[in-house]
Amino acid sequence: MAFVSPTAEQLGMYLGMAEIDGDRADLLIQQAVSLAESVVKPLPDQATAVVLSVAGRAYVNPQQVSYETIGPMSVQRPSGSGGLYLTKADKAALKSLAGRGGAFTVDPTPASADPSPTWPIDDTFFGDDVFEPGWS
């Protein structure tokens, strides 16, 4: 199944907003999909959560306001809490959803490898010498 981009209505539900500007939401979703595709292409089916998160950040705080005072109320937001961007966690989630995250091991040993020694055993060097126990 191919990735299906979320809708403006889904972004509104994600943000908990009864009303949402559909054209603006569609633009932000489209841009969030483009950003996500810069990390993983094609996007996995479950990438909707990351796309909604990216578009939601930009919808709620487009100017990246970090400190705001209105009358007696003041709000300080974390740095980088607005605008359209992918966080390190977003990138890691996309890679993980695509099956590209985490560690792996590569075994360079060919399947036809034989565990027996490949060097010539020199009987003249060892001769009939008796080795100490454990050194045979």
**Structural domain boundaries enclosing 69:** 8-97
Residue type, position 118, single letter:
T
pTM of the model: 0.62
Residues facing residue 70 across a β-bridge: 73
Tokens of 68: 């705001």
In a domain, 32, yes or no: yes
In a domain, 130, yes or no: no
In a domain, 28, yes or no: yes
Over residues 79-84, mean pLDDT: 64
Over residues 74-87, mean pLDDT: 72
In a domain, 112, yes or no: no
In a domain, 49, yes or no: yes
Q: To 5 degrees, how large is the angle CA 50–CA 53–CA 57?
A: 145
In a domain, 134, yes or no: no
CA R_g for the chain: 29
In a domain, 13, yes or no: yes
Domain count, the chain: 1
Distance CA 24, CA 8 (A): 8
Q: Where are the beta strands (DSSP E) in 1-130?
A: 67-70, 73-76
In a domain, 125, yes or no: no
pLDDT digits (tens, 9 = 90+) for 45-63: 889 999 999 999 888 877 6
pLDDT digits (tens, 9 = 90+) for 21-50: 889 999 999 999 999 999 998 999 889 999
